[in-house]
Structure 1
Amino acid sequence: MRGSSLATRLFLSATAWVVVILVITGFILSSVYRDATERAFDRRLNLYLRNLVAEVATPDEPPDHQFQSLGEPLFELPLSGWYWQITRTDTEKGETRVSRSLWDKKLPKLDEHGADLTAAGVRLGYVDGPEGQNLRLVERPVDLGADGKYLVSVAGDATEIFDETRSFDYYLGGTFVALSIVLLLTTIFQVRFGLAPLKRISDSIADIRSGRAERLEGEFPVEIAPLARETNALIDANREIVERSRTHVGNLAHAIKTPLSVIVNEASAHGADPFATKVLEQADVMRDQVAHHLERARIAARVTIIGTVTEVAPTIEALRRTMEKIHRDRGVVIEVEGDAQAKFRGERQDLEEMVGNLVDNACKWAASRVFIEVRVERPVGPGAAPILRITVDDDGRGLSAPERAQASRRGQRLDESKPGSGLGLSIVVDLAALYGGGFSLGNAPIGGLRAELTLPGV
């Protein structure tokens, strides 16, 4: 059940337990009912047996009046399944008297090892009847002393037991099926509505992550309320940690700015000195790095706490116009194609900084053309967020695999003749990572370098 929801696992578990419990209960009830039916049948047989024993014990009664007190017409119906038999066991001849229903057949004797023996000396068991019937047989030895020894047997068609048990099993099965359906529907209801507060918490956390809310709001059941409180406390603690970290980075950056300004001023006073020129060059790099880390602290705090939504098309269009003006002397044409409804889950200035760096680099290296494509990939699985994919292609010379790996490192410049500090692509990588996105370089279909940026969409 990997990947299955908690509601599904609870439902399957409850279903399995319901089925197991009902099967066990049904088996027990069926066994109890069968035993009860069998005991009732045995009581009936024992009643006939006692009457026969009483008749055997009063041999003075005329033969035509003997065995008339059983009161069961089936003993008179040939091969009816109900039989009695009296066998004398103390003579070699073994005189036997049988009911009319036995016709010219005889009842078998119970196996002493396979029959049940009661405290009254009566044996009970199942035997095959004259017509292949399954009979329930009771027999009892009777010792009349000088009047002889007898074995008195009474048998009844056990089909009655089996039919009664089978009918009960059918009714029991139908009842349990109906009960199972009711229990399963009840379980579905309980799971669905019992887990509804957890679904609310999940949706609320998704709203917090996407920037539509800041805390878990609303009333929750007593069992779920501690989870909501702890989640809100975790959000508050996270906000405090991020804010504290941003403050520390800002304080450090501002503390560095003052001595850095002093160094720049002193070096500017000796502008003709090569050493001063080098100091000014490195001071500019340090300023870029300080600004970069301040920006990272600002973005980290904002992305972690609250998200905003930015329209992508107007931002790209504004960048296109700006870059065409900047690189007008080189005649670079910038083409834009993509989803006009695309949205970025983040700040506009961050999108401008990331895409602006990519388009600026593309324009620097392009021969005559830059192509920007914007796509939104909709989620496939449940709970997945849309992905905003922005590709920037140029028709320049492109980069080899080692050069592409070097280009995204902070401060690495492949051509010192091109303006810049070498921090542009590293800033893009860092900002994309802060938003949970990614950045990669490859070969463009139009012949140069492809820069692909993936960011959270809406």
Structure 2
Amino acid sequence: MDTRQNQRELANRRTSSLATRLFVSATAWVVVILLITGIVLSSVYRAASERAFDRRLNLYLRTLVADVATPDDPPDHQMQSLGEPLFELPLSGWYWQVTRTDGEKPDIRASRSLWDKKLPKLEERGIGLTAAGIRIGYVDGPEGQTLRMVERPVDLGADGKFLVMVAGDASEIFEETRAFDYYLGGTFAALSIVLVLTTIFQVRFGLAPLKRISDSIADIRSGRAERLEGVFPVEIAPLARETNALIDANREIVERARTHVGNLAHAIKTPLSVIVNEASARSGDAFAEKVLEQTHVMRDQVAHHLERASIAARLTIIGTVTEVAPAIDALRRTMEKIHRDRGIVIEVEADMSAKFRGERQDIEEMVGNLVDNACKWAEQRVFIEVLVERAGAAVRAGGEVEPMLRIVVDDDGRGLSPAERAKVSRRGQRLDESKPGSGLGLSIVVDLAALYGGSLTLGTAPIGGLRAELVLPGV
């Protein structure tokens, strides 16, 4: 149960990680787009505010230029037709100034609001004339205000040259732009929240079918299901169909491999049986005895390699899981019957949650060889221990943690030296010809374990004899 829960948690974490990446990516794009849009809108609105302000200034400028161009009007009527009270209020931020520039000493006339101050010239700041013959820009006012000013040089020929300037307090532009930015920011913040919530909804429910496929594949690999079941959206349905087709094709390949292995076994064993029968009929003949000896070796070799081929075919099956404790208990009863004449006691201590990621006949083959070997060499006792290790678990290619199954078989026999341990692991090697067997048992275990990605280690048992430690993939 813990392993299944761990697998589902891993699948959920992978799906959550994908959802998180999609959410972060979508949120980042939303923020960037809204930020760029906000900057563009703010700039457009500021430019629009400046144009409206400039139109107002240009209206006053044209009025002043008209007054300058009609010097015949009485002095008390000149420069009095702007119609803006702020030009009369001292230091109000709204000013005009007319300067005659062709004399030895400039003649300056200005609005009452300017008091005894002067306006700076845009020409001196390096601002050039526009196509309309005016200069527009920002300057610092008499009281430290930021002014938006427009100036125009006027050449009246014999009547003189003048520089006409009109300035207004630019705080109107800044305040309007700031108010617009405030409302724009609030609107975009609300829009961002709505978009983020919408993205969360889309990511969560849009990835739900992928999570179901991930859970279903984990169930197939763990042996709890055989196919992807359920109805999937049209975007995901092709993936589910192809996955099921792949599983079916895998099973067909395995079945064909098994059939071929069985046919090969039958084709080879029949001629060998004929050779054995013919040689057995000539008892006492040295040549016949040699043929019988080599035929038995050939049978063992054929059985060994056919078994490996059969196992390799079985290993390609997806989702095969075997309960270990029942298989070990059945082996214990069988071995006790086989060795009952020697009074061997077989003790088992197994984790009931232990599961082997493979077929039952394979784990019975491996553990059966180890227990049979232990019973042959034991004096009185054989001890079998089954452990599930999750702390030192392996990591699969997809990033999933895989528990390891550890099966320890100890006997109280004479044990083996390091050199003898290395020797018995090789195929066909036997230390004592008086013991029954072909010498293939441990080598078969080594080969089987390697095919499953496991290993076999020989050492010294705490009870005095040989310890065989088998490590296999668990569930």
The answer, yes or no, to whether TM exceeds 0.5 is: yes
Q: Which stretch of structure 1 is more off in the superposition, 120-129 or 379-388? A: 379-388
Among candidates 1, 4, 25, match of residue 13 of structure 1: 25
Partner residue in 2 for 1:206: 218
Specify whether residues 371 and 111 from structure 1 end up closer, same or farther in structure 2 by C-alpha distance, changes over 3 A only: farther
Query: Is 1:423 matched with 2:423?
Result: no
TM-score, with length taken from structure 1: 0.87
Residues 221, 320 of structure 2: 8 Å contact kept:
no
Other-structure match for 1:151: 163
Q: 1:52 aligns with which of 64, 84, 104?
A: 64
CA contact (8 A) 1:30 1:165 kept: yes
Q: Tell me, in whole angstroms, the C-alpha distance in 1 between the residues paired with 2:170 and 2:460.
A: 89
What amino acid sits opposite 1:344 in the alignment? F
Q: Distance in 2 between matches of 1:160 and 1:399?
A: 99
Shift of 1:139: 0.5
Match of 1:443 among 449, 459, 470: 459
Q: CA deviation at 1:97?
A: 1.4
Give the letter for the 1:88 counterpart. R
> 2:8 corresponds to which residue?
none
User: What is the aligned partner in structure 2 of residue 337 from structure 1?
Assistant: 349
Report the Cα distance in structure 2 between the residues aligned to 1:401 and 1:94, rounded to whole angstroms: 114
Q: Which amino acid aligns with 1:194?
A: G
SS of 2:406 mapped into structure 1 = strand
Tell me if 1:119 matches 2:136.
no
More displaced 10-residue stretch of structure 1: 131-140 or 51-60: 51-60
Shift of 1:65: 4.1
Matches within 5 A, 1:155-304: 155-304=167-316
Residues 91-115 of structure 1, C-alpha deviations (whole Å, 9 max, x = no match):
1221111222222110011136732
Q: 2: CA distance between counterparts of 1:449 and 1:168? A: 86
Q: Structure 1 residues 132-141 or 305-314, which shifts more?
A: 305-314
Q: Deviations over 1:58-77 (max 9, x none)?
A: 33444444434323332223
**Partner SS, residue 388 of structure 2:** strand
Pair 1:384-2:397 in alignment: no
Choose between structure 1 and 2 for higher RCO, CA contacts under 8 A separated by at least 6 residues: 2
Aligned length: 455
Question: Structure 2: how far apart are the matches of 1:282 and 1:176?
Answer: 88
Counterpart CA distance in 1 for 2:192 and 2:299 is 73
Question: For the residues of structure 2 that align with 1:34 and 1:414, how far apart are their CA atoms?
Answer: 97
Moved more, 207-216 or 154-163: 207-216
In 1: Cα distance, 2:219 partner to 2:424 partner: 37
**Alpha carbons of structure 1 residues 89 and 308: separation in structure 2 relative to 1, 3 Å:** closer
Alignment of 1:15-34 (within 5 A): 15-34=27-46
Residue 117 of structure 1: SS of its match in structure 2? coil
Distance 1:438 1:193, change over 3 A: same
Counterpart in 1 of 2:427?
410
> Any unmatched runs of 5+ in structure 2?
1-13
Tell me: CA distance 1:365–1:155, structure 2 relative to 1, closer, same or farther (3 Å): farther
Provide the secondary structure at the position in 1 that maps to 2:255: helix
> How well do the aligned residues superpose, as a CA RMSD in angstroms?
3.1
Counting aligned pairs with the same residue, the percent is 83
> CA 1:65–1:299 in structure 2 vs 1: closer, same or farther (change >3 Å)?
same
Which of structure 1's runs of 4+ aligned residues deviate more than 6 A?
379-382
For 1:298 and 1:207, how far apart are their aligned partners in 2? 25
Q: What is the TM-score of this pair, normalised by structure 2?
A: 0.84
- d(CA) in 2 for partners of 1:15, 1:226: 29
Moved more, 248-257 or 394-403: 394-403
- Conservation of the 8 A alpha-carbon contact between 2:247 and 2:318: no
CA 1:122–1:13: 2 relative to 1, 3 Å: same
The corresponding residue for 1:360 is: 372
Q: Which amino acid aligns with 1:440?
A: L
CA contact (8 A) 2:445 2:456 kept: no
Verify the 8 A CA contact 2:261 2:310 in the aligned structure 1. no
- CA separation of 1:271/1:172 partners in 2, compared to 1, >3 Å: closer, same or farther? farther
